[in-house]
Amino acid sequence: MAGYSFDLSNRVVMITGASSGIGKHLARRCGESGAKVVLAARRTAMLDDVKAEIEAAGGEALAVAMDVTDEASTIAAFDAVEAVLGSVDSVVANAGVAIGGSALGMPMEQFDQVVAVNLRGVFLTAREAARRMIKAGSAERHHGRIVLMSSITASFIDGGQVSYSSTKAGVVQMGRTMAHDWANKGINVNIVCPGYIRTELNGEYLDDTKGQSLIDGFVRKRIMDIDVLDPTILYLCSDASAQVTGSIFTIDDGQSL
């Protein structure tokens, strides 16, 4: 994927969950593509490394504290961005948590946590982004881009993931409904459903017996590398995707076949 990019110059791009994993990686890629990158996470100290990397490469980045489950925190984060960089043009609602377990034994506080981050958090992020885009003239400029991160588990059954897969299925329908409702407001909303990607967060699981059993069940018997989403995310955040909204992009190397 090296060197592959869409031009994001003059765009302010917010990535939630940017402190680790896929969010951290995508923040770097958006910076390389010319974006002014907003790194959003609950703890800004964890964003220092990626912010420094983007700036060392000649880019511009801003770290903001944002708890996606909290409306006041979400609003404050967007306020902080506007005070420094102006209105956000593109948002990748990437923050998420995965807590596995059988529905029979899962404590309700764990279920509620997954729903709060993966569904409520995506809703609050997308809604506040849309409000700011509309205020900034998206209906005339047609510049608004919102990308919601779902998962192949929205339709692909992985045992013991009832809370996670249910929220990711909800994100798909949420995104399509928002795309419909905001189509005449100059905002495109699309949904990305990745398959299993190796990150520093899941490497240990993928290398153990249960993870290897999962991989052995895939038709290509492999896990995707972290850069597999780069072309799609950069495209959906850019002007190139002007006529694309309400679409679902499944990127899984055939894992759900």
Q: What is the DSSP string of 178-199?
A: HHHHTGGGTEEEEEEEE--B--
pLDDT digits (tens, 9 = 90+) for 121-132: 999 999 999 999
Which residues are known to be catalytic? 151, 164, 168
CA–CA separation, 237 vs 7, rounded Å?
9
Q: What is the pLDDT of residue 211?
A: 87
| CA distances from residue 217 to 73, 81, 102, 103, 212 in whole angstroms, order as listed | 41, 44, 21, 23, 9
Per mean pLDDT, which range of 113-127, 186-200, 206-220 is the poorest? 206-220
pTM reported for the whole predicted model: 0.95
Distance CA 150, CA 40 (A): 18
Residue 159: pLDDT over 80: no
**Residue ranges of domains in the chain, CATH in brackets:** 12-197+229-251 (3.40.50.720)
